[in-house]
Homo-oligomer: A and B are copies of this chain.
Amino acid sequence: MLHTINKSPFESNILETCIRFVQPGDPILFIENGVYAVQAHSRFAPMLEGIREKNPVYALQPDLSARGVTSLIDGVKTVDYEGFVDLVEKHKVNNWL
């Protein structure tokens, strides 16, 4: 199951809530303001590095570019909208709002 997160981890507790329920191996895709979670050196970087050990982590490149987030945590994969569609094709979805 693909989990998407669209809120900044600084403004919402949704990332911390979501990861309590995500099963190992399930991909997590960060979109919209959610992409700040994968920026290197932020307060949430250590949490994300922990998540990445159990789950593939993706971020939507158009949202990263729009926000000038250029330095990412190691191992985060970027996708465009077509890559987002591919993930939805491969997995059922759980869009955390």
Contact = CB atoms under 8 A, between A and B. Distances in A.
Interface of A: 10-13
Chain copies in the assembly?
2
Chain A contact surface mostly: loop
A79 to B, nearest CB: 28
4 contacts: A10-B13, A11-B12, A11-B13, A12-B12
A13 B10 CA distance: 7
Contacts of A12: 11-12
Contacts of A10: 13
List 4 tightest A-B contacts by C-beta distance, closest first.
A11-B13, A10-B13, A11-B12, A12-B12
Nearest to A10: B13
Nearest to A11: B13
A11 B12 CA distance: 6
A16 to B, nearest CB: 10
